[in-house]
Structure 1
Amino acid sequence: MDGCGAVPQVLLSGQEKYALLCTDSVMVANGQGNPMRQIALLRRNAFTIAAPIDSDVRTVADLKGGSLGITEGSGGEIGLVQIALENAGLDPRIKGNEDVDIKVVGAGGPGAYNALQSGDIDAYAAALNDLAVMQPLGLESRSIIPEELQQLPSSGLTLMEDTLADERDREVTIKLARGWVKGNEFAVEHPQEALAIVCERAPEQCKDMDVARAYMKSVLQTIATVDGLEPGEQAPIEGYETVEDALLASGDLESEVDLETIFTNDYLREIDAGG
């Protein structure tokens, strides 16, 4: 399912028990009284805001009076957009923004590429892989988000609190997290072999190898372990506080949530125990 904003409903409805869910969506769900827990952080810095390399837009503040493209209203990049706008002193709202014209231009591809090249949008907020697939089209871009926003927690393995309380479901969750973490480690250490496995299992994704390699490179950037942290370990609490502050400023979160309980490291040893 596309769009982090839509994924929580899959957990809330009971349609699925486990999901890769964006940090901001987990906070909002908990703020609405839906106790979700994220037991392993699997992606960092997965989203960015980029402008053409020859553009005069060099910072988020430069977007005032201009336009910003997004993939969709519930896209995973929305949290970062709100944080970046709020930190730049701009209106952090996605709808009815008084400082920046925010336009839905779709996922990375010809549509988003043409919107950037034509000047219909001044910058584009999306996942790194959305930008990667536009590189073979000729896109040259640079990130305009400040350094302090470049290692924010992006998404992790998430489930409802009552699912985690069930012993059998918890065991499955641990195994899922362990497999994901080990897969990430293998891909970082053996990128060519990992890409070959992907192409063997999903050949439709590798019809254009330039796109596949660019996509793989972008994925590796998001799953690499940060120095000082164990694979799957949650980011320092300051990163979650940054996300929370932006959600409070935008009105998507009415009050603070218990970040240390929601984004827990309590199961890290069990996840790593599989060797």
Structure 2
Amino acid sequence: MRLSKIAAAAAVLLVGAVSANAQEVRIGVCTPVIDASVGAPFAAATEFGWFSERGISVKVLPLAGSTDCVLAVATDKVKAALVAPESVALMATKGTKIQIFYTVFNRNMFGIAVPKDSPIKSYADLKDKRIGVVSMSSVGVVIARAALESTGLNPDTDAKIVVSGPPVQSNVLLKSGQIDALSQWDMFYEILTSIGLPMRKLMDPGIDDFPSNGFATISSVIEKDGDVLAAIGRGYAMGTLYMMERPEEAARLFFKHNPDKLAPGLSLDENVARSLPAMRAASRLRALADGQKQWGYSDPKKYQNYIDWLAKHGTPIAKVQSQEIINNSLLDKINSFDPKAVTNAR
């Protein structure tokens, strides 16, 4: 599907505070369904004016996957996007200089998982199995192929990667045996667990410390519109901290600003309770790493380790260096807030 059609079909989530003087900024997120684990930081930043006090309002545009997100950035459909580093590195090989200016997830959130009682115990057990991804443009495809390569399997012939869609659809396909495993992310697996299908990630300690998604844009935009990008990052960091410290309140704010996301037939309290496991999983991934002092910091060594692992296992990014795809120049502006004021916000 063409990017323009995806964008047109997707429901745009408005999370910017209404202000006559605010600059509207469009942000892509690489998932077709926005839930509280994704949207709560934006909602909190809206509720307490953390975007508007820096002169911006924000629209979040859900897209099918990281490939669509980096294309949206490259074609100026969005100011920035919350993308996986693999997609940014792949764009670098094509001469498009996109950089991550705020790393959101300091730990690896991607990986292959199976139902808790599945006989599959390792990557090697995936031979002749079907692995579901949210879309063929998602980073789950890259991760699945690399995982298969790492155990000596041919991702083109020894397993099948198929689209299994959002959690509800994936739940049906797993329970019916139409797929055997998923290549998704931790919050996705928490949602499946919360609706009655406990999931178990296949252990791979070697990838646990890899970074995951971050806000990225064209490098020239960082130079030209740094204040706008810093406003996005600052508001998001504040919203993230609020969600970590007060998850139930953050969930309520998400549904307040996005009532269309309430599951039909469930009360607000039930929707909040169902959202909390995925939100807590997201918070663990967003938490500052040991020794990290600033929200959004991109660690060059961790990024290089990830690039090297992907390249070793078949992703064509061997010549990419981490400094090409990260940019920490906005961090002082992003972190210009009082954490106590955030956690005490009412």
**Fold-level match, TM-score > 0.5?**
yes
Distance 1:274 1:137, change over 3 A: closer
Q: Of the candidates 114, 131, 140, which is equivalent to residue 68 of structure 1?
A: 131
Tell me whether 1:234 sits opposite 2:292 in the alignment. Answer: no
Match of 1:157 in 2: 215
Q: Of the candidates 66, 78, 97, which is equivalent to residue 35 of structure 1?
A: 97
What are the Cα deviations for residues 197-220 of structure 1, in whole angstroms up to 9, with x where unaligned?
112111232334243233323322
Alignment of 1:116-265 (within 5 A): 116-166=174-224, 169-207=225-263, 208=266, 209=271, 210-230=273-293, 231-235=295-299, 237-247=301-311, 249-253=313-317, 255-265=318-328
What CA distance in whole angstroms lies between the structure 1 residues aligned with 2:329 and 2:145? 29
Match of 1:268 in 2: 331
* 1:65 Cα offset (Å): 2.5
Q: Of the candidates 95, 114, 118, which is equivalent to residue 51 of structure 1?
A: 114
What CA distance in whole angstroms lies between the structure 2 residues aligned with 1:237 and 1:82? 23
| SS of aligned partner of 1:68 | strand
Contact 1:42–1:156 (8 Å) recurs in 2: yes
Contact 1:28–1:252 (8 Å) recurs in 2: yes
Residue type of the partner of 2:166?
A
Identical columns (%): 24
Q: Which runs of 5+ in 1 are unaligned?
A: none
Q: Of the candidates 82, 88, 105, which is equivalent to residue 26 of structure 1?
A: 88
Contact 2:147–2:313 (8 Å) recurs in 1: no
Residue type of the partner of 2:110?
F
Q: Which runs of 5+ in 2 are unaligned?
A: 1-62, 339-346
* 1:247 Cα offset (Å): 4.2
What are the Cα deviations for residues 116-170 of structure 1, in whole angstroms up to 9, with x where unaligned?
123222211112232233224310121104122223211111111111221xx11
Residue type of the partner of 1:271?
I
Q: Which moved more, 1:5-14 or 1:264-273?
A: 264-273
Structure 1 residue runs of 4 or more that deviate by more than 3 Å after TM superposition: none
What CA distance in whole angstroms lies between the structure 2 residues aligned with 1:182 and 1:84? 35
Q: TM-score, normalising length from structure 2?
A: 0.71
What CA distance in whole angstroms lies between the structure 2 residues aligned with 1:192 and 1:25? 33
What CA distance in whole angstroms lies between the structure 1 residues aligned with 2:309 and 2:208? 16
Q: TM-score, normalising length from structure 1?
A: 0.88
* 1:265 Cα offset (Å): 2.5
What are the Cα deviations for residues 202-247 of structure 1, in whole angstroms up to 9, with x where unaligned?
1232334243233323322332222222321114524443234424
Q: Of the candidates 79, 97, 108, which is equivalent to residue 167 of structure 2?
A: 108
What CA distance in whole angstroms lies between the structure 2 residues aligned with 1:191 and 1:256? 41
Distance 1:264 1:162, change over 3 A: closer
| SS of aligned partner of 1:154 | coil
Q: Of the candidates 111, 123, 142, which is equivalent to residue 79 of structure 1?
A: 142
* 1:171 Cα offset (Å): 0.9
* 1:172 Cα offset (Å): 0.7
Higher RCO structure, 1 or 2 (CA under 8 Å, sep 6+): 1
CA RMSD of aligned residues (A): 2.1
* Alignment size in residue pairs: 267
* 1:38 Cα offset (Å): 0.9
What are the Cα deviations for residues 63-108 of structure 1, in whole angstroms up to 9, with x where unaligned?
12222111111113233323322322323x4xxx122122211121
Contact 1:42–1:157 (8 Å) recurs in 2: yes
Residue type of the partner of 1:155?
N
Q: Which moved more, 1:263-272 or 1:206-215?
A: 206-215
Contact 1:132–1:211 (8 Å) recurs in 2: no
